[in-house]
């Protein structure tokens, strides 16, 4: 096998407007390393991938990349009129060229005497092409191409199908398939599991683990990060810049929790020390000798003794004040509070009393429920493929009159739904104004929007109609977290959340108030779900 080149970036800076999206980022990725990029939205994951790929130039810094590089981003580099066969031919082109070149060189070697000058050069060239063909698994490329298409759920699409006739998800999977077939020396992937079901995601993980070169991937999929990555780079702002962790997501999570404990312990120790120093600076001078006249035995030397005592007091006060000033200047910031629900102080439990009962409910072609009972403290996870009716079920539970059957709700039941398409009244208002107007001024003061960590400070006073889909969903989640209802319905709640926030939301759901129903494709969330589970199956279309 040939020696694969590394991917090296040094001190990358990328500025957009007045904001430094990348600020001195360095990264070295050796062949066989699969590096995951994680962090909040806006921390520069996609920007870093584009700079590493050479699509964007950095404002300063350098990036050296292998010549055979593949980058999965928004769209295939083909016109809508191109066919699936044309995409596959392009992906297989290098492997086919290597095999053709081996045949040509082999024939030339057979016709060239071993002792001739030309024979040595041909033999060297044959060895180089042979190594390259082995790296690309060229002899098995055609069979592997069919296996990749099947593995990513594209096996049923005919080769003559034009790209313009494919759905967005199919085009995304075809772009990923083309890169897996091609097997470049460095593979850069931006959210590769977005359009993959469970089986396709597992297949993709297997393929990436078998890649001989460099893999750098940005992903919110915690199960994917755990299965694929040898290292994780956290791009969230830190004192020393981006931090690299060895291992997959579980190892990263263990390290981050240990860091959080150390951070909290240091902050608590510093706050206790500050309190002691403030007391020493403010009180010491009043505790010793103030207002006390000299005793008879002290009168002769009172002036000298009193002066010495006051000097000692002043020195201690000055020393405490100096230490206080330095510690106040250098103290570590308070660690952020994890995401958690903030129910009203008098929120009722309700125990095992039913809050919703559904009987013989049917939405033609989308959903059928024979019977479903939710209690006041229920935890229900709804899963199933696209089109199985998960969002429809949540809409019915929220009170939307769809289909036939009986849906009973406890009178006065407060229901909150986080839909996949979050819409607000008065979208010209800012995120902070929408939040305050929805939860009320008193609750907004008790639980400020900025304290939840769901929106960046720069987005709090932007109009809602200027926010992205993900930011609007985060704002909708913030409202539900600050003022949780008695029945909380969450449709794909981990979409658009960083892995850290996904973990925090999972933990919050375990102790959150009221009944909670979650519809999710998130494999890690589903594998760790502590409550009931309901799996829906896709219903066949109605034939007319």
pLDDT digits (tens, 9 = 90+) for 85-123: 999 999 999 999 999 999 999 999 998 988 888 888 899
Range 63-83 average pLDDT = 84
pLDDT (0 to 100) of residue 445: 93
pLDDT (0 to 100) of residue 51: 95
pLDDT (0 to 100) of residue 544: 38
CB atoms within 10 A of CB 154: 18
Which band of pLDDT confidence, cut at 50, 70 and 90, is reported for residue 58? Answer: very high
pLDDT (0 to 100) of residue 63: 95
Range 304-321 average pLDDT = 65
User: What is the average pLDDT score of the chain?
Assistant: 87
**Size of the chain, expressed as the number of residues it contains:** 544
- Whose CA is closest to 162, among 148, 176, 174, 149? 174
Structure tokens at 252: 């990263």
Residue 308 has pLDDT above 70, yes or no: no
Assigned CATH topology for domain 1-68+186-247 = Rossmann fold (3.40.50)
Range 329-342 average pLDDT = 80
pLDDT digits (tens, 9 = 90+) for 408-444: 999 999 999 999 888 888 889 999 999 999 999 999 9
Host H or E run for residue 223: helix 222-228
Cα dihedral value 462, 474, 455, 22, nearest 10: -100
CATH number, domain 354-535, options 2.30.22.10, 3.40.50.300, 3.40.50.2000, 3.30.429.10:
3.40.50.300
> Are 243 and 56 spatial neighbours (Cβ–Cβ below 8 Å)?
no
Residue 266 has pLDDT above 90, yes or no: no
User: Of residues 37 and 328, which shows the higher confidence score?
Assistant: 37
Which distant-in-sequence residues (6+ apart) come within 8 Å of 358 by Cβ?
A: 369, 371, 372, 373, 396, 397, 405, 406, 407, 408
pLDDT digits (tens, 9 = 90+) for 163-203: 999 988 899 999 999 999 999 999 999 999 988 999 999 99
Structure tokens at 122: 């041909």
Range 43-49 average pLDDT = 92
Which band of pLDDT confidence, cut at 50, 70 and 90, is reported for residue 1? Answer: low
Which band of pLDDT confidence, cut at 50, 70 and 90, is reported for residue 289? Answer: very low
Domain boundaries of the chain, sorted by first residue: 1-68+186-247, 77-183, 268-330, 354-535
Residue 346 has pLDDT above 60, yes or no: no
pLDDT (0 to 100) of residue 542: 46
Q: What is the CATH number of domain 77-183?
A: 3.40.50.300
> Are 460 and 388 spatial neighbours (Cβ–Cβ below 8 Å)?
no
Structure tokens at 291: 């207002």
- By CB atoms closer than 10 A (0-12, 13-18, 19+), residue 114 is exposed
User: Of residues 202 and 271, which shows the higher confidence score?
Assistant: 202
Q: Give the distance between the most distant pair of CA atoms in the chain.
A: 123
Q: How far apart are the first and last CA of the chain?
A: 59
CA distance 238 to 259: 12
Domains 1-68+186-247 and 77-183 in one fold: yes
% of residues, the chain, pLDDT over 70: 90
Helix locations, 440-468, DSSP H: 441-446
% of residues, the chain, pLDDT over 90: 56
> Are 227 and 250 spatial neighbours (Cβ–Cβ below 8 Å)?
no
CA distance 169 to 171: 5
Range 69-75 average pLDDT = 79
For residue 160, report the phi and psi dihedrals to the nearest 5 degrees. Answer: -90, 0
pLDDT (0 to 100) of residue 301: 55
User: What's the angle, vertex CA 281, arms to CA 277 and CA 287, rounded to 5?
Assistant: 115
């Amino acid at each position: 096998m040939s020696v694969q080149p590394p991917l090296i970036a040094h001190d990358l800076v990328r500025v957009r407007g007045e904001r430094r999206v990348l600020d001195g980022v360095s990264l070295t990725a050796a062949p066989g390393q699969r590096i995951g990029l994680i962090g909040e939205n806006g921390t520069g994951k996609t920007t870093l991938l584009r700079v590493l790929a050479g699509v964007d130039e950095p404002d300063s810094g350098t990036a050296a990349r292998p010549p055979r590089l593949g980058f999965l981003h928004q769209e295939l580099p083909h016109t809508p009129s191109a066919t699936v066969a044309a995409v596959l031919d392009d992906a297989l082109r290098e492997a086919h060229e290597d095999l053709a070149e081996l045949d040509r060189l082999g024939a030339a070697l057979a016709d060239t005497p071993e002792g001739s000058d030309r024979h040595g050069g041909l033999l060297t060239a044959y060895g180089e092409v042979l190594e390259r063909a082995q790296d690309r698994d060229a002899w098995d490329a055609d069979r592997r191409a069919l296996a990749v298409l099947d593995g990513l759920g594209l096996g049923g699409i005919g080769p003559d199908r034009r790209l313009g006739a494919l759905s967005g998800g199919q085009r995304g999977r075809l772009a990923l398939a083309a890169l897996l077939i091609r097997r470049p020396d460095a593979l850069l992937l931006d959210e590769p599991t977005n359009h993959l079901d469970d089986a396709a995601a597992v297949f993709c993980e297997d393929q990436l683990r078998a890649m001989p070169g460099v893999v750098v991937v940005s992903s919110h999929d915690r199960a994917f990060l755990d299965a694929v990555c040898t290292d994780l780079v956290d791009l969230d702002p830190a004192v020393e810049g981006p931090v690299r962790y060895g291992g997959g997501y579980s190892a990263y999570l263990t390290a981050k929790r240990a860091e959080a404990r150390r951070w909290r312990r240091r902050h608590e120790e510093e706050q206790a020390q500050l309190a002691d120093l403030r007391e020493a600076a403010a009180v010491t001078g009043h505790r010793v000798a103030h207002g006390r006249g000299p005793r008879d035995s002290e009168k002769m030397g009172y002036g000298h003794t009193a002066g010495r005592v006051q000097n000692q007091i002043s020195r201690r006060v000055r020393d405490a004040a100096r230490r206080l000033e330095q510690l106040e200047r250098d103290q570590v910031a308070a660690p952020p509070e994890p995401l958690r629900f903030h129910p009203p102080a008098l929120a009722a439990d309700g125990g095992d009393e039913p809050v919703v009962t559904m009987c013989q409910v049917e939405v033609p072609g989308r959903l059928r429920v024979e019977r479903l009972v939710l209690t006041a403290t229920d935890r229900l996870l709804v899963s199933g493929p696209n089109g199985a009716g998960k969002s429809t079920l949540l809409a019915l539970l929220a009170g939307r009159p769809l289909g036939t059957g009986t849906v009973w709700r406890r009178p006065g039941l407060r229901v909150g739904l986080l839909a996949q398409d979050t819409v607000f009244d008065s979208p010209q208002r800012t995120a902070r104004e929408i939040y305050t107007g929805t939860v009320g001024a008193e609750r907004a003061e008790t639980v400020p929007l900025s304290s939840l960590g769901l929106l960046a400070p720069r987005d709090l006073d932007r109009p809602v109609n200027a926010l992205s889909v993900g930011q609007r969903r985060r704002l909708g989640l913030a409202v539900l977290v600050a003022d949780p209802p008695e029945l909380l319905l969450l449709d794909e709640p981990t979409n658009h959340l960083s892995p850290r926030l996904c973990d925090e939301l999972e933990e919050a759901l375990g102790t959150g108030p009221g009944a909670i129903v979650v519809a999710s494709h998130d494999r890690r969330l589903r594998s760790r779900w502590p409550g009931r589970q309901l799996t829906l199956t896709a219903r066949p279309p109605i034939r007319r």
